[in-house]
Amino acid sequence: MIPLLAGAEPRWFNIPAHRPFVHDLARGLFDALAPLGPQALSQAVVLTPTRRGARALADAFIAAAGGRAVLPPQIRPLGDLDEGEPPFEPGELAIDLPAAIDPLRRRFELIALVKGHEKQLGRDLDASAALELADALGSFLDSLQIEEVSARHGLADLVTADLAEHWRVSREFLETALTAWPARLHELGVVDVSQRRVALLRALAESWDRRPPEGVLIAAGSTGTAPATADLLTVIARAPQGAVILPGLDESLAEKAWAQVGEQHPQGAMKRLLERAGVARRDVLLWPASDTLDTAGRWRRRVINEALRPAEATADWLTVIETLRAEGGSDGVDPIAEGLKGLSVVTARGEEEAATVAALLLREALEVPGQTAALVAPDQTLARRVAAKLARWGVGADSSAGSALAGCRCGGLAALVAKAANDPLDPVTLLAIAKHPFVRLGLGPEALDRRRAALELHGLRGPRKTTWQALEAHLRRKASDARIEPGAIEEALRFAAQLRDALTRLQTPYADDTARPAEAARSLAQTMEALAADERGDTGDLWAGHGGEALGRLLSGLMSESDGSPAVSRRG
Whether 12 contacts 184, CB under 8 Å = no
Q: What is the pLDDT of residue 278?
A: 96
Identify the pLDDT of residue 385.
92
From the list 383, 414, 388, 441, the residue with the least C-alpha distance to 547 is 414
Q: What pLDDT score does 447 carry?
A: 93
**CA nearest 421: which of 547, 508, 512?**
508
| C-alpha distances in Å from residue 173, one per residue of 16, 106, 452 | 46, 18, 54
pLDDT in tens, 95-108: 678 889 999 999 99
pLDDT recorded at residue 327: 79
Domain 3-93+197-292 has CATH 3.40.50.300: yes
**Domain segments of the chain as ranges:** 3-93+197-292, 102-191, 300-340, 351-402, 407-569
Closest by Cα among 457, 464, 448 to 534? 448
Indicate the helix (H) or strand (E) that contains 473. helix 468-477
Average confidence score pLDDT of the chain: 87
Within 8 A by CB and 6+ apart from 259, the residues are: none
Measured distance CA(230)–CA(273) in Å, rounded: 6
pLDDT at 341 (0 to 100): 86
Question: Tell me, what DSSP letter sits at residue 566?
Answer: P
Q: What was the pLDDT predicted at 151?
A: 63
Are the C-beta atoms of residues 166 and 121 closer than 8 Å to each other?
A: no
Check whether 243 has a pLDDT greater than 90: yes
- The residue ranking higher by pLDDT, 227 or 568, is 227
Exposure letters 237-265 (e unless 16+ CB within 10 A, then b):
bbbebbbbbbbbbbbebeeebbeebeeeb
SS3 for 222-277, per residue? CCCCCHHHHHHHHHHHHCCCEEEEEECCCCCCCHHHHHCCCCCCCCHHHHHHHHHH
Instruction: Give the strand pairing for 568-569 and 514-515.
Output: antiparallel
Higher pLDDT, residue 154 or 132: 132
Q: What is the reported pLDDT for 510? A: 81
- pLDDT average, residue stretch 399-417: 87
Calpha distance 355→346 (Å, rounded): 11
Higher pLDDT, 464 or 404: 464
Comparing CA positions, the residue from 453, 454, 436, 466 lying closest to residue 541 is 436
Confidence band for 481, pLDDT divided at 50, 70 and 90: confident
DSSP-based three-state secondary structure for 205: helix
Q: What is the sign of the dihedral through the CA atoms of 334, 340, 342 and 346?
A: negative
pLDDT tens sequence across 62-101: 999 887 888 889 999 987 777 666 666 645 555 678 889 9
Q: Quote the pLDDT of residue 295.
A: 64
Rounded Cα gap, residues 232 and 244, in angstroms? 10
How confident is the model at residue 335, as a pLDDT? Answer: 84
Q: Indicate the pTM of the whole model.
A: 0.84
Return d(Cα 289, Cα 21) in angstroms, integer: 10
Cβ atoms of 292 and 28 within 8 Å: the answer is no
Give Rg (Cα) of the chain: 30
On whether the CB atoms of residues 291 and 255 are closer than 8 A, the answer is: no
Q: Which residues, 6+ apart, have CB-to-CB distance to 438 below 8 Å?
A: 409, 410, 413, 528, 531, 532, 540, 541, 542
Q: What would you measure as the largest C-alpha separation in the chain, in angstroms?
A: 94
273-321 pLDDT tens trace: 999 999 999 999 999 877 666 666 778 888 888 888 888 877 777 888 8
Q: Is pLDDT of 12 > 90?
A: yes
Work out whether the CA dihedral 480, 481, 487, 488 comes out positive or negative. Answer: negative
Give dist(CA 298, CA 278) in Å, integer. Answer: 27
pLDDT reading at 344 higher than 60:
yes
Percent of the chain with pLDDT over 90: 51
CA 429 to centroid of chain Cα atoms:
30
Q: Is the confidence at residue 18, as pLDDT, over 60?
A: yes
Cα gap 486→562, rounded to integer Å: 51
The β-bridge relationship of strands 217-220 and 285-286 is: unpaired
8 A C-beta contact, residue 230 and residue 202: no
Q: pLDDT digit string (tens) for 145-196?
A: 999 987 666 566 655 555 566 677 788 888 889 999 999 999 999 999 999 9
End-to-end CA gap in the chain: 62
Q: CA torsion sign, 530 to 532 to 536 to 538?
A: negative
Amino acid at 54: A
pLDDT of amino acid 249: 94
How far is it, in rounded angstroms, from Cα 40 to Cα 42? 6
DSSP bridge partners of 247: 15
Q: If 0-12 CB within 10 Å is exposed, 13-18 middle and 19+ buried, where does residue 424 land?
A: buried
pLDDT digits (tens, 9 = 90+) for 201-226: 998 999 899 999 889 999 999 999 99
- Amino acid residing at 398: D
Position 153 scores a pLDDT of 61
pLDDT (average), residues 265-275: 95
DSSP string covering 368-432: STT-------S-HHHHHHHHHHHHHTT-----TT---GGGSHHHHHHHHHHHHHH-TT-HHHHHH
pLDDT tens, residue by residue, 358-369: 999 999 999 999
SS3 138: helix
Cα(189)–Cα(557) distance, rounded to whole angstroms? Answer: 19
| Nearest one of 263, 259, 207, 201 to 233, comparing CA atoms | 201
Give residue-wise pLDDT tens across range 223-240.
999 999 999 999 999 999
Alpha carbons 237 and 459: distance in angstroms, whole number: 71
